[in-house]
Amino acid sequence: MSSNTAIYVRRRITNMVAMLLGGFATLLGLTFLVWILWVTVSNGISAITPTLFTKITAYGAQGGLSNAIVGSLIMDFTALLICAPIGVLAGTYLAEYANSSKLGATIRFLNDILLSAPSIVLGLFVYVIIVLPMSNMTHGAISFSGLAGSVALALIGLPVIVRTTDEMLQLVPGTLREAALSLGVPQWKLTMQVLIRAAGSGILTGILLALARLAGETAPLLFTAFGNNFMTLHPLDKMASLPVAIYQYTNDPNPAMHAIAWAGALLITMFVLALSLLTRLIFSRKKVSYE
């Protein structure tokens, strides 16, 4: 009897300790989130000034970020222009044409791996297939370029879009397909006008998620877009970007340059987090409408 009570008490205590540790772990995770965000906001907000948006990157306190912001916008959206159509079409292929084929399974599998592949290796890849050949062909007139940076970023965004499109299309009820097919609608029309539209907001979520992911990337830009201390709008020029500019400003011992780096960090974090919150919002509504 008493040994039974002892066992019971021990089990209860084990349970209590486990629950406490679970709560503690969650608190720890949240602490890091709050810590990082707080540091970024408190350091960044005081450094956000009009000159940040009017001046170009420079050594010392006189610099701004205008060329980096423009460079990032150009490269991010060019990347999106590249990876969104390819990603949506590839995802459609997986969901609609190759759902149970071997090729489909292989590609789906490789896409998942691409999703977590080290971004710096993707940068190396683009360096080898775009930067080097361009440089050899043009005798160095074009080498590192905003376009190469965009392609590297597109490779980061692509698997995100493929995967969400694939998953979203699978959520579209089969009855919709059967109804359309029975009306004699050809497959391509069914896919483009019915299915992709039905899964539209889900697919949009994927595209926004991809944007959020590629906008924060630094490593693949180091040796594809390189850097530029001036404003350029030309995609074949070496191009500045917000993450790389932050990296350069951070690397300097000058506190005035750190302040600019923090301001850039705040901008990019806000942008990325706002995008992920937005996708969450769209997606949660989406789920409701399905049920």
Partner 1 sequence: MLTSYKSPIRLAAVAAIAVASTFGMTAQATDITGAGSSFVYPVVSKWSAAYAEKTGNHVNYQSIGSGGGIAQIKAGTVDFGASDMPLDEATLDKFGLGQFPDVIGGIVPAFNVEGIAAGKMVLDGKTLADIYLGKITKWNDPAIRALNPELKLPAANITVVHRSDGSGTTFNFSDYLSKVSPEWKTKVGEGTAVQWPVGIGGKGNEGVSAYIKQIKDSIGYVEYAYALQNHIGYAVMKNAAGNVVAPTIATFQAAADTADWKHSKNFNLVMTNAPGAKAWPITATSWVIMYKKPKNVTNSKVAFDFFKWAYTHGQAQARSLDYVPLPPSLVQQIENYWKTEYKM
Partner 2 sequence: MQVPSTEPLARNIDARSRADALHDRIFRRTLKFCALLVLAALVGAALSTLWGGREVLFGHGLHFLSSTAWNPVEDDYGALAPIFGTLVTSLIALVLAVPVSFGIALFLTEIAPAWLRGPVGAAIELLAGIPSIIYGMWGLFVFVPFMSRIEPALSATLGKIPLVGKLFQGPPLGLGLLTAGIVLAVMILPFISSVMREVFQTVPTRLKESAYALGSTTWEVLWDIVLPYTRSAVIGGIFLGLGRALGETMAVTFVLGNSYNITSSLLMPGTTISSSIANEFNEAVGTHRSALIALGFLLFVVTFIVLLIARLMLRQLAKREGR
**Rule CB under 8 A: which of 132-151 touch partner 1?**
135, 139-144
Tell whether residue 283 is a contact of partner 2 (CB under 8 A): no
Tell whether residue 19 is a contact of partner 2 (CB under 8 A): yes
Q: Which is nearer to partner 2, 116 or 289 (CB)?
A: 116
Q: Which is nearer to partner 2, 164 or 191 (CB)?
A: 191
Q: Considering CB distances under 5 to 8 angstroms, the limit depending on partner class, which of partner 2, partner 1, none binds residue 265?
A: partner 2
Q: Helix axis angle, 66-92 relative to 200-215, nearest 10°?
A: 140
- In the chain, count H helices and then E strands: 13, 0
CA–CA dist 218, 177 (Å, integer): 42
CA–CA dist 247, 19 (Å, integer): 41
Instruction: Tell me the residue ranges of DSSP E strands in 23-133.
Output: none
Q: Which residue has the tokens 């050594």?
A: 59
CA–CA dist 245, 258 (Å, integer): 11
Q: Considering CB distances under 5 to 8 angstroms, the limit depending on partner class, which of partner 2, partner 1, none binds residue 84?
A: none
Stretch in the footprint of partner 1 (CB under 8 A) among 68-76, 93-101, 107-115, 153-161 = 68-76
Residue 211: which residues within 8 A CB-CB, separation 6 or more?
76, 80, 157, 275
Q: Considering CB distances under 5 to 8 angstroms, the limit depending on partner class, which of partner 2, partner 1, none binds residue 231?
A: partner 1
* Residue 90 near residue 164, CB atoms below 8 Å: no
Name which of residues 188 to 207 contact partner 2 (CB under 8 A). 188, 191
Q: Tell me the three state secondary structure of residue 40.
A: helix
Q: Considering CB distances under 5 to 8 angstroms, the limit depending on partner class, which of partner 2, partner 1, none binds residue 143?
A: partner 1
Tell whether residue 43 is a contact of partner 1 (CB under 8 A): no
Residues that bind partner 1 (CB under 8 A): 53-54, 56, 58-60, 62, 66, 69-70, 73-74, 77-78, 81, 131, 135, 139-144, 226-238, 248, 251-254
